Structure formats: structure tokens, C-alpha cells
């Protein structure tokens, strides 16, 4: 990609726009919003949060899962996923103290 072509693109959230053609170029974020969890009207984590009795234990379990498997399966991507779940757990704990 040439420099001139690159400056014709802009990111809006996780989407890439071509300013020349005004077209949206969908990009995927496999850590924060993987396509297989965001294909419906609601993101899967939001449904789980509303339906799981002990949401914080669910988050804790996923943190452990991604940390334990990162060397054999997903590498850095799994560590980033663990970080996302940890951030959500931190938010839950902070809200508890308000």
C-alpha cells in the first residue's frame, strides 16, 4: 500500500473506512468482539451476564482457562482474552463498592 493510499483510510472503532470511495471495510477484532460472538442482535457476553447466577465466577473461570492454555493454543491472543475477562471482573468488583 502506498502512502497516498494509506491516508485515504480511517478507523472508526474497529471498522475501517475508505475515504475515497466512502465504503466501509469491515474488520474483525478476535479479542474484544470476535465475529462468532457478535453475529446476532446481542453480544454473547451480555446475554451471559444477564442469565448467569454468579457472573463473577464465570469471569474468573475464563481468566484461568485462557491463562492456562495460552502456550499450547492461542498464544498472546489468549492472554489478551484473559485480560478482557480480568478487566470485566475488576469493573464488577469496583461497582460492588459504590
Q: Is the pLDDT of residue 44 over 90?
A: no
Instruction: Kindly list the strands in the beta sheet with 15-18, ordered across the sheet, starting from the edge strand earlier in the chain.
Output: 9-12, 15-18, 23-25
Domain assignment present for residue 36? The answer is: no
Q: Are residues 47 and 19 in the same domain?
A: no
Q: Could you tell me if 63 and 97 lie in one domain? A: yes
Determine, yes or no, domain membership for 19: yes
**Is the domain of 21 the same as that of 48?**
no
Q: What is the pTM of this model?
A: 0.60
Structural domain boundaries, residue 1: 1-30
Same domain? 47 vs 93: yes
Residue 8 · residue 19 · CB < 8 Å: yes
3-state secondary structure of 52: coil
Q: Does 24 fall in a domain?
A: yes
Q: Average pLDDT, stretch 21-41?
A: 67
Q: What's the rounded mean pLDDT across residues 60-76?
A: 95
Cα(51)–Cα(49) distance, rounded to whole angstroms? 6
CA-based R_g, the chain, Å = 18
- Whether 6 has a pLDDT exceeding 60, the answer reads no
Please name every residue paired with 11 in a beta bridge, in sequence order, or none if there are none: 16
Please give the tally of structural domains in the chain: 2
Report phi then psi at 78, rounded to 5. Answer: -65, -35
Amino acid at each position: 500500500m502506498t502512502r497516498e493510499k494509506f491516508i485515504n483510510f480511517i478507523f472508526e472503532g474497529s471498522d475501517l473506512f475508505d475515504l475515497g470511495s466512502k465504503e466501509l471495510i469491515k474488520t474483525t477484532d478476535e479479542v474484544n468482539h470476535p465475529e462468532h460472538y457478535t453475529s446476532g442482535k446481542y453480544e454473547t457476553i451480555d446475554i451471559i451476564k444477564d442469565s448467569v447466577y454468579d457472573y463473577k465466577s464465570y469471569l474468573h473461570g475464563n481468566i484461568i482457562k485462557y491463562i492456562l492454555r495460552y502456550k499450547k493454543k492461542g498464544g498472546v491472543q489468549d492472554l489478551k482474552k484473559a485480560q478482557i475477562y480480568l478487566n470485566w471482573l475488576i469493573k464488577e468488583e469496583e461497582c460492588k463498592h459504590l
